[in-house]
Amino acid sequence: MKTASVKLKRQPVYESEKRCPESCSNNDSEEEPPGRRSISDDLEEEPPGRHSICCVLTEEPPSKIATTRYRFFRDIPDSLWNDWKWQFRNRITRIEQLVQFIPLSIEDQAQLRLVTMRYPLSVTPYYLSLINPDDPDDPIRKQAIPSPLEMIMGSMGLEDPLDEKRDTVVPGLVHRYPDRVLLVLTDICPMLCRHCTRKREWRNGGWVRSPAEVEAMLDYISHHKSIRDVIISGGDPLTLSTRHLESVISRIRKIKHVEIIRIGTRFPVVLPQRIDNELCSMLAKYGPIWLNTHFNHVREITPEAAKACDRLLRSGVPVNNQSVLLRGINDSVEAQTKLCHGLLKIKVRPYYLFQCDEVQGTEHLRTPVETGIKIIEGMRGHTSGLATPTFVIDLPQSGGKVPLQPNYILAQSEGELVLRNYEERVFHYRNPRTPARTESPVEALCPAGRATAGLPQEGTANLG
């Protein structure tokens, strides 16, 4: 067996763990809430991100290979490549590492170094291997590799557009809707997506909720009987060891009024090796558990990702997809249709297509709302309803999600709608009205039936 040529060096979890220059706003970050610990305290099995990767780079024409795994990581044996902890430890977090894989000019490198001081870089070797390094517009690259536009357009938008801080009832627990809560156990993700809504959290450098904080969250849920749905989301909860995750999930499951648990994770997309038998057997014990993941482009649907989703499904965990509409990545009918068809083929339901939130550092990836509506219009009817996600805006200031769709009603009068279909054909549709309290159903719903029933015809009652 070949030996991997991997040099292991100690690295900070994120580049932002280093102090920023005085001028950088990163320095006025909030103090760490008391009780938070670094992830290395909590991940009893594997402290993530502690090592760098250095592989022998061999030039090969990209057209000859499906991914760059065998171009850049050919010396990594399958046993390591398929080990999620190896992938996690060997994330690419520094520009110096990145240039070994992606060609960047000296100027680009300098610019990106500045960007990563505010918005760090973290990509798994697996996800990096999906990037075509020779295409600056590659849709996978744009999700993972920083852009100078994050800083150039950095004043546009808000830090916390969804106002999650306002709805935080105890640290880590957001209670916005009456029957459900969002529980955030860590701010660490294997990959830092450039469009992330919680970019503001990155500067805190990686934390995991302490046992006391978890206790406070569980206590709140136990005392609020209206909560029937607990969403454990990101940072990515699957960053934690299976044992750690089980210690929380099993406690939630004991709360009688909690009907379902949902997990929000991008692991099936960016590090599918994490979805192993141990995790799936654990999740199977505490159902009903639903899992929402986040594929944005059809090229993310690899055999590894398909296998991860299949494992979850076989363990009784339904998998839905929530994608984000991103400029130059998936903002066309063709890209969305291919994505959704690909998802259905791996038995994942396309659930939501989100308008990209107005988060600082993401403006260059946002599209006009009309783009999303046109995409849905180009899909609805042209493909099945199952393949068409609901396009939603998550409103700022805790407004919640609002679904948006094309307007198919051309005119409306009492008793009739004029509708257009996906082919622009026009149809008249009789619209039954709700009977008034004093009317019989025959009177209200079937004017022609009034005569048969011996009742005066509509509009003739007072004609003497």
- 263 pairs with which residues across the strands? 232, 291
401 catalytic residue (yes or no): yes
Closest distance of CB 33 from ligand SF4, Å: 18
Closest distance of CB 271 from ligand SF4, Å: 10
180 catalytic residue (yes or no): yes
Regarding 359 and contact with ligand SF4 (CB under 6 A), the answer is no
In the set 401, 429, 433, 446, the catalytic residue is 401
Of the residues 266, 297, 364, 366, which one makes contact with ligand SF4 according to CB under 6 A: 266
CA angle 410, 368, 384 (to 5 degrees): 55
Closest distance of CB 375 from ligand SF4, Å: 20
55 catalytic residue (yes or no): no
CA distance 374 to 154: 28
Closest distance of CB 355 from ligand SF4, Å: 14
CA distance 113 to 102: 14
Regarding 357 and contact with ligand SF4 (CB under 6 A), the answer is no
Regarding 272 and contact with ligand SF4 (CB under 6 A), the answer is no
14 catalytic residue (yes or no): no
CA distance 365 to 147: 10
CA distance 180 to 230: 6
Closest distance of CB 236 from ligand SF4, Å: 5
Give how far the C-alpha of residue 232 lies from the chain's centroid of Cα atoms, to the nearest Å: 12
Please answer whether residues 365 and 358 qualify as being in contact, where contact means their C-beta atoms are separated by less than 8 angstroms.
Answer: no
Closest CB to ligand SF4 among residues 234, 378: 234
CA distance 36 to 207: 6
Q: Which of residues 218-257 bind ligand SF4 (CB under 6 A)?
A: 234-236
Closest CB to ligand SF4 among residues 144, 217: 144
In the set 200, 357, 366, 450, the catalytic residue is 357
CA angle 273, 275, 277 (to 5 degrees): 110
Of the residues 193, 308, 339, 393, which one makes contact with ligand SF4 according to CB under 6 A: 193
In the set 55, 193, 309, 356, the catalytic residue is 193
37 catalytic residue (yes or no): no
166 catalytic residue (yes or no): no
Q: Of the candidates 320, 13, 315, which has an alpha carbon nearest to the alpha carbon of residue 186?
A: 13
Closest distance of CB 291 from ligand SF4, Å: 13
Closest CB to ligand SF4 among residues 129, 293: 293
Residue 255 DSSP code: S
Regarding 196 and contact with ligand SF4 (CB under 6 A), the answer is yes
Closest CB to ligand SF4 among residues 235, 372: 235
CA distance 363 to 373: 19
Please answer whether residues 118 and 24 qualify as being in contact, where contact means their C-beta atoms are separated by less than 8 angstroms.
Answer: yes
Dump strand ranges (E) for 147-288.
168-170, 173-174, 180-184, 229-233, 260-264
Residue 344 DSSP code: H
Which residues carry out catalysis? 176-177, 180, 189, 193, 196, 198, 357, 394, 401
Footprint on this chain of ligand SF4 (rule: CB under 6 A): 189, 192-193, 196, 198, 234-236, 266
